[in-house]
A and B are shown apart, each in its own frame.
Chain A
Amino acid sequence: MHAPAPPIAIERLVKIYKTVPAVDGISFTLTPGSVTGLLGGNGAGKTTTIASIMGLTTPTSGQVTVLGAEMPRQRYRVLHRMNFESPYVAMPMRLTIRQNLTVFGMLYGVPDLAARIKQLGAELDLTDLLDRQTGKLSDGQKTRVALAKGLINAPELLLLDEPTASLDPDTADWVRGRLERYRRERNATMLIASHNMAEVERLCDRVIIMKRGHIEDDDTPVKLLARYGRRTLEEVFLDVARGRGIEREAAQ
């Protein structure tokens, strides 16, 4: 019997826009049920990496395989098993939450959709807001709606881009709690691009740090902290971003 295909397998991915390499030969594989943080400064290549995983861009070279399907060529084999949430991709503002979730539920082929919307409404504290226009919600409420859209098809693979950006600490903590619960209940695999190091430390059991299109480091948070001799991932991130990682390692 074959082992199930890894949720994400990237091999020597290169993506060049005109003459600028956004991603330059990265490789990594995620195991089922893992939560991985994708860190990096602006222009590090995180967005391009995630876009390649979703089949939104065609690799210049290399291979991206998601749940056993080569992206973007075979994307329609697996898109219904994955989903994406980002505060930077909006939902139609004039539609109510229920209407938006109905449309996306139908696109993803969710069975018993009305019950699923009711369930998500209860789980994400949206029940009383379901018939309100999405554009009239607060930032925190919109983030919960985006999360509801991301979970509408109970995906095996969830890609998250800054899932708690612009949220107050209380709401952000609540969202992280929901994501932890979803991972436990569904054994879902998550890839989280984030600049919030506290969030990454709490949620992720693996961290990939990117810089200028390359993977600079890739390990568990605990091992990264030990290797860089730092107390927080933020300090590790700054070491990598400012090119101090190797110096510190060599000094030790």
Chain B
Amino acid sequence: MTTIGDGVLDFSPRRTGAMMLRYWYLLRSSWPRLLDLVYWPTVQMVTWGFLQFYIVQNAGFFAQAAGIFIGAVLLWDILFRGQLGFSISFMEEMWARNIGNLMMSPLRPFEFISALMVMSIVRLAIGTVPVTFLAIAFFGFNLYSLGLALVAFFLNLMLTAWAVGIFVSGLVLRNGLGAENLAWSVMFLFMPLTCVYYPVATLPAWLQPVSWALPPTYVFEGMRALLIQHTFRPDLMLDALALNVVFFAAGVFGFLKLLQSARRHGSLIQAGE
């Protein structure tokens, strides 16, 4: 028995573009949405920036490793905002009661997911790029000085963000907007476990394997290696990439299964609370 259906794997750039256009129209029409994209990353960066500024003046270690807090904040924002950007674009359809229109159109799940992935980058760029320039202006921390390492960090963080975003979207599709809070909170579970602000060695021994099972852990360790020891660790990036392939595949698989379950349980007819 075919479980996912004929033509599900077809891909049309036109249909994907239609969905990107839909989200672009929405962003363009709503200044509060645009402001929201910039507001929190700015507040967070400034707060942590001043904290680091204070610590640097009082501790020799941090004076040598200037930028690890701001760097961690900016990379964490890529992870968190990347997932949130994906999930919010998806939930815009639920809030607008438009998901039924999309599900009965020729739009394929992979096209929908692709559009959401691209839009999460657009939203992230709008929110985070200005903040990276503020970090240069306020604290002299230039994220772009990380060079090619930044590309590796970004790619790995976005893959994790998308994997989680895809799975959470599936949960919302299956369970309605009652599952909406997951979109806002699920990534915070990653924060202590992926060791955003401290090395993995800080965790108790029994928790460290859990931490190493999460791709962002390798990115944050890699960032500290770069800023403290001035060494880029490609091995960490490759490990993260391998784990991300598994996470992404699991996210897509989960989404398709939840979509299938939504069809069985009639959730697509009553997409609401």
Interface positions of A (Cβ within 8 A of B): 15, 17, 22, 47-48, 51, 54-58, 72-77, 79-80, 84, 86, 88-96, 99, 102-104, 106-109, 133, 149
Contacts and interface: CB of A to CB of B under 8 A. Distances in A.
Contact of B264 (A57, A106, A108): A57
Contacts of A133: 29
B103 interface: yes
28 contacts: A17-B266, A51-B266, A51-B269, A56-B269, A57-B266, A57-B269, A73-B6, A74-B5, A75-B7, A76-B6, A76-B106, A80-B106, A89-B97, A89-B98, A89-B101, A95-B29, A99-B21, A102-B18, A103-B19, A103-B22, A106-B14, A106-B15, A107-B106, A109-B12, A109-B14, A109-B15, A133-B29, A149-B101
Contacts of A109: 12, 14-15, 106
Nearest to B100: A89
A215 to B, nearest CB: 20
A106 B18 contact: yes
Interface centre among A80, A90, A107 (most CB of B within 10 A): A107
B2 A79 contact: no
Interface in B150-206: none
A48 B12 CA distance: 30
A interface SS class: mixed
A90 B98 contact: yes
B268 interface: yes
A76 B8 contact: yes
A79 B105 contact: yes
A19 B123 CA distance: 43
A106 B6 CA distance: 21
B106 A79 contact: yes
B22 to A, nearest CB: 4
Contact of B21 (A94, A96, A106): A106
A48 B264 CA distance: 11
Interface string B194-220: 000000000000000000000000000
B98 A92 contact: yes
B22 A95 contact: yes
Nearest to A80: B106
Interface of B: 2, 5-8, 10, 12, 14-15, 17-19, 21-22, 25-26, 29-30, 92, 96-98, 100-108, 260, 263-266, 268-269
B98 A48 contact: no
A-B residue pairs, 6 tightest by C-beta? A76-B7, A106-B18, A90-B97, A89-B100, A54-B104, A103-B22
Contacts of A90: 96-98
B228 to A, nearest CB: 46
- B6, B92, B265: residue with the most chain A Cβ atoms closer than 10 Å: B6
Given A51-B268, A57-B263, A75-B5, 13 more contacts: A72-B5, A72-B263, A73-B5, A75-B7, A76-B6, A77-B6, A84-B104, A96-B25, A99-B25, A102-B18, A107-B18, A107-B19, A107-B107
Given A51-B266, A51-B269, A107 B105 contact: yes
Contacts of B7: 74-77
Contacts of B269: 47-48, 51, 56-57
B21 A74 contact: no
Nearest to A98: B25
Contacts of B21: 99, 102-103, 106
A96 B2 CA distance: 39
A95 to B, nearest CB: 5
Contact of B268 (A57, A79, A149): A57
A76 B19 contact: no
A95 B260 CA distance: 30
B114 to A, nearest CB: 14
A77 B106 CA distance: 9
Nearest to B264: A58
